[in-house]
Structure 1
Amino acid sequence: MSRRRAIQHGLGATGAGVLLGAFATSRSASRAMQGSVATPARSPVELPQPRVLKSAGGELAVTLTATPATVDMGAPLPVQTYTFDNVVPGHTWEINPGDTLRVALVNNLPPLSHPEPMAFTRPHEWTTTNLHTHGLHVSPAGNADNIFISIPPGETFHYEIAVPGDHPSGFYWYHPHRHGGVAQQVRAGMAGAIIVRGELDEVEEVRAAKEQVMVLQAIELGDELQLLDPIPRPDEHQAFYPREHILYTINGVLNPRITMYPAEDQRWRMVNAAEGKFMSLQLEDHDLNVLAWDGLTLAAPEAAGLVLLSSGNRVEALIKAGQPGTYRLVLTPGSSQKPNIPGMPAPAHPSATPVATAAPTAVPAAPASPTAMAEMPGMAPMPGLIDIPGELAVRPILAIEVVGDGPEMSLPAALPAWNPPMLPIAKTRTFAFTVERGPDNIEFLDFGVDGHAYDRDRPPYQVKLGTAEEWTLINGIDPRYPDHAHVYHIHTNPFKITRINGRTLARPLWRDTFVLSGKNGDSITFESNFEDFTGKFVEHCHVLTHEDLGMMSAIEVIE
């Protein structure tokens, strides 16, 4: 089996035979879709909603099965990938503050057929898995949100996660977080949404709006829409994570449709559940009236013409439908592992053939809004991280058909803002995301934090429980090399961003995931309260290839 072997060897004898036979008769279709895989194979379907599993009696108990599956995403061929429970995305979990989340995670992914010794900061053991509840303020210890747990193929682990009674209501998500296989499993589609009900849901105008959960993913596949294995030791013409096509899907479907009537409001709850793609979203002739970022509610809705979701970010917005017609939600050229916000430098491949979701179309650039994330310059690929030409093309991912009539709806004037008081700052810290190279200053070695690639044996940075700290994260990219943006995420506790590139913000931003723009010396400064939980967890780049390649470090909260 080649180094680019697909996952079909893990589908079982019967399934593999059926799939191989089907694809043997579909090679002409495969050739025909080269460079345009995302053109849907059928008319747009109404946006499906993931199945919702709701807590009852203070508990949500689920069995979550990691398994290979064949999934119909509306592409010319069925998709062979890794899934949770045979669907992409996984089911939505709906819980309340004070609930206990019990998850039996069953790993039915295939064992690697020829495991070879692999460096800890290279793709390795990518069918071993675990679970992370991204954004939840819960314990990182024991059998709670503990990402140091390993669940090999064929084994089951039982999680028990107690959600605090004062947990903020909002939109969160779950995904695997086993170092060495995070990027592989997330790019395959293994992710699902988490809803914590609460105060925001009781705002009259929010409660009246139809709710749409939107799990935005970038499924990375081979030429027959099969998940390809990573390449731990790529040559100069290969990537660690090979791909021929990317399917930009919403709730597992290419180019779905939403129907609204003029003046209707809908509540869109969006998560960028891609491995590392930035998703710069613009809705033609409409604003997104943002209610919350990363599950943390604003004081009032903020109109934004364009929002940038880094990998892991969530945004909730009310959309007020305009005049009858068809409008498109598009990914602008800010969408890629090489982000380029309108008005910034041109994409690296401006004339390349698009390879995902749909043919590119001209979309006027929207001015940056207060709600949009920081502007970022273009980036060039790092060695071993090869981008597909055309990834930066503008492309629609959702159609909104405004028809009919109904009662006019209104936007709320105020929201139950999440803005807890900060504890006194006990300590400051400055650290950097870095890229390590060989003696020739060309060979890529590792990503790292302060010049150190992730090492599970390195003592963690320690913080005292019941204190707050102020940290400044610097982009330590070598200035001789192209700009390279990162995405900062820390587990367990959100943070309040006070300065970007040394400039004090007029209004701080609460997040659990935030972009670090790409120039050497760029920085973000933020404060965080370390309350409620002791234990060890991690901070890392949420471009998950960067994390698997070493850009992660451990934090420990102690008494």
Structure 2
Amino acid sequence: MQQAPQEIAVHPAATGTKSLSRRQLIDRCIGVGALLLAPGSAGAGHAMHGAPGASGHMDMSPTSGVVPDAVVPATDQALVEPETRRSADGMLSTTLRVGYAYRWIGGVRLYVRCYEGASPGPTLRVKPGDTLRIRLINDLPPNRDRLPADISQPHQFNNTNFHFHGAHASPSGIADNVMRSMAPGHSYDIEIKLPEDHTRGTYWYHPHHHGSADIQMSSGMVGAIVVEGDFADVPEIAAARERLLILTQVVFDASGMVEAFETLFPETATRFLAVNGQRRPTIAMRPGEVQRWRILNAAYQDDLLLDLEKHDLQVIAYDGIQLGAVQARKRVLIAPGQRADLLVRAGAAGTYALNAMPYDQGHPSPVGALARVVVSGTPMAMALPSALPPPPLETIRDSEITNRRTVTFSATAPEADAAGHWQEFGFFIDGKTFDPNRVDHRIKLGAVEEWTIVNTHEHDDHVFHIHTNPFQVVRVNGETLAVPEWRDSVIVDRKGGEVVFRSRFLDFTGVFMLHCHMMNHEEMGMMQTVEVYQP
């Protein structure tokens, strides 16, 4: 295994560098000598492969040199949850290999970037106070392009890094630092220490390297993180079988790959929806059984409106933060990056569809079957909780506020929006595209601030997300919430939509991001830096 090169800085504040960054130096040195994506270029694990077609058929003649692999049923197989890796004695130490892998999904054979050869990647389960230690091995081939002058042009799809989405942890050094650039052919150490009082719940990880994150996430480079212990003292929840449902949008080109931004940007690009890398899997339940579903929307672009036929959905947590009371919902809207923890109590024997229903976010969200719930067998007498414990984070009072600020999302589009090429669009925050060398917001450690997020874009909703510190939503489109909600991501409606939230900037200094979690928009510049500093 090669040793990691000297750490590559994307932002001068991350290392204190003032001159040409090592990343720029590497980009200039690679030049036209970079290898093209070809068989064997990603290491010994890819020495034998061909180019898959959209239909999944390949030449299987005796002289083809291709070893056939097992075909996975297109739909209706039992739900399979990812491999689980758990902490022990305060530590989860593991490796994550990033490389190309074949995936059968929905009857199509894909060849895409994955963690550990699977999509989703392994589920990481930790406890408050634990340390997450990862050796990330970037086994992707060298990049085929140089760093562009405009970094809001998607680029260098084989650079990566690691983001613990929703974590209240340090954004600096080798912790949850999305300023790091992890080049192909090297290994990198990541070490994230969780506070002893970290909120317990459902989180996730994904790449966050500007230029390549959208391509990699849409390929299936995502995985869940569970901080254990939430609702441990609620017997009805503790007794419920736990299920993990990671929702993704499946997209690919004519070769069954994701190798160009044109594959992602059209609003109709999604081929179908998936749960845990499966198309329309089956979830088995018994009549009267209560299950706890940890749902993660790891889609690269779109909101999903969830509906379980003839069943209510009982929400107990959003974005990894426990609610103080159960919310009974007919449907649950979940944006990219968001999580919703639900209790589902099965009705009478039968088969019920879990669907993504039509939803207008400025363009139609993808719709269709996500899963089937098959209820059968001996009934179970399980109850829903009558009450939940108090939420883990205290409400932010008016008297705590030390500063207020406004952040504005906007965009430009060609007149014939639907026919426009992605390079004709622009996505901005406060009128600017992302610049890693600019600090957009400086905040004193310990500040408590109220932010107003405004969306002036006429055509699209956006999804505001900020790293490191969760926030409490208090007002949406001028309406004060009866019960403020803690989140780390929130939808901001188009045409003047407005969200007001409050946040405590505690515990950690350093530079981190706010951005739209519709990753097409983030990749094209809808991101800013935030620096929390010690006075």
Question: Which of the residues 235, 248, 269 maps onto 2:273?
Answer: 248
Question: Which of the residues 205, 215, 221 maps onto 1:184?
Answer: 215
Tell me the percent identity.
Answer: 37
Give, in whole Å, the separation in 2 of the partners of 1:322 and 1:161.
42
Question: Which of the residues 99, 103, 118 maps onto 1:71?
Answer: 103
Tell me the equivalent position of 2:15: none
1:85-234 superposed matches below 5 A: 85-115=116-146, 117=148, 119-230=150-261
How many residue pairs get aligned? The number is 480
Matched position secondary structure for 1:20: coil
- Following superposition, which runs of at least 4 residues in structure 1 exceed 6 angstroms of deviation? 5-9, 21-25, 437-443
TM-score scaled by length of structure 2: 0.84
Matched position secondary structure for 1:200: coil
Tell me if the contact between 2:201 and 2:230 (Cα under 8 Å) persists in the aligned partners. no
Judging changes above 3 Å, is the alpha-carbon distance between structure 1 residues 13 and 229 closer, same or farther for their aligned structure 2 residues? farther
Tell me if the contact between 1:498 and 1:504 (Cα under 8 Å) persists in the aligned partners. yes
Give, in whole Å, the separation in 1 of the partners of 2:268 and 2:140.
20
Tell me if the contact between 1:7 and 1:68 (Cα under 8 Å) persists in the aligned partners. no
The amino acid that maps onto 1:64 is L
Judging changes above 3 Å, is the alpha-carbon distance between structure 1 residues 225 and 244 closer, same or farther for their aligned structure 2 residues? farther
The amino acid that maps onto 2:529 is A
Matched position secondary structure for 2:217: helix
Deviates more, 1:109-118 or 1:12-21: 12-21
Tell me if the contact between 1:293 and 1:510 (Cα under 8 Å) persists in the aligned partners. yes
Judging changes above 3 Å, is the alpha-carbon distance between structure 1 residues 325 and 107 closer, same or farther for their aligned structure 2 residues? same
* Cα distance per residue 1:360-395 (max 9 Å; x no partner): xxxxxxxxxxxxxxxxxx525xxxxxxxxxx75641
* Cα distance per residue 1:59-108 (max 9 Å; x no partner): 000101111100122x2231111100000000000000010000111111
CA drift of 1:396 comes to 1.0
Question: Which of the residues 275, 280, 296 maps onto 1:271?
Answer: 296
Give, in whole Å, the separation in 2 of the partners of 1:264 and 1:45.
21
Tell me the equivalent position of 1:49: 81
CA drift of 1:16 comes to 7.1
CA drift of 1:25 comes to 8.4
The amino acid that maps onto 2:197 is D
The amino acid that maps onto 1:528 is S
> Is structure 2 residue 459 aligned with structure 1 residue 427?
no
CA drift of 1:27 comes to 7.7
Judging changes above 3 Å, is the alpha-carbon distance between structure 1 residues 439 and 119 closer, same or farther for their aligned structure 2 residues? farther
Question: Which of the residues 258, 268, 273 maps onto 2:283?
Answer: 258
Judging changes above 3 Å, is the alpha-carbon distance between structure 1 residues 497 and 533 closer, same or farther for their aligned structure 2 residues? same
Unaligned runs of 5+ in 2: 1-35, 60-71
CA drift of 1:435 comes to 1.7
> Is structure 2 residue 437 aligned with structure 1 residue 412?
no
> Is structure 2 residue 455 aligned with structure 1 residue 494?
no
Judging changes above 3 Å, is the alpha-carbon distance between structure 1 residues 180 and 242 closer, same or farther for their aligned structure 2 residues? farther
Give, in whole Å, the separation in 2 of the partners of 1:14 and 1:431.
46
> Is structure 2 residue 426 aligned with structure 1 residue 446?
yes
TM-score scaled by length of structure 1: 0.81
Tell me the equivalent position of 2:14: none
Give, in whole Å, the separation in 2 of the partners of 1:530 and 1:174.
22
Tell me if the contact between 1:466 and 1:529 (Cα under 8 Å) persists in the aligned partners. yes
Unaligned runs of 5+ in 1: 29-39, 232-237, 335-339, 341-377, 381-390
Tell me the equivalent position of 1:398: 371
> Is structure 2 residue 35 aligned with structure 1 residue 59?
no
Give, in whole Å, the separation in 2 of the partners of 1:548 and 1:475.
18
RMSD over aligned Cα atoms: 2.7
The amino acid that maps onto 2:404 is T
Tell me if the contact between 1:220 and 1:243 (Cα under 8 Å) persists in the aligned partners. no
* Cα distance per residue 1:122-179 (max 9 Å; x no partner): 1011210000000111111111100000001111110110000011110000000011
Judging changes above 3 Å, is the alpha-carbon distance between structure 1 residues 225 and 129 closer, same or farther for their aligned structure 2 residues? same
Tell me the equivalent position of 1:524: 499
Matched position secondary structure for 1:221: coil
Give, in whole Å, the separation in 1 of the partners of 2:526 and 2:415.
20
* Cα distance per residue 1:179-237 (max 9 Å; x no partner): 11111111010010000012413321111000001111112101342223225xxxxxx
Tell me if the contact between 2:273 and 2:369 (Cα under 8 Å) persists in the aligned partners. no
Question: Which of the residues 522, 526, 544 maps onto 2:519?
Answer: 544
Give, in whole Å, the separation in 1 of the partners of 2:52 and 2:114.
22
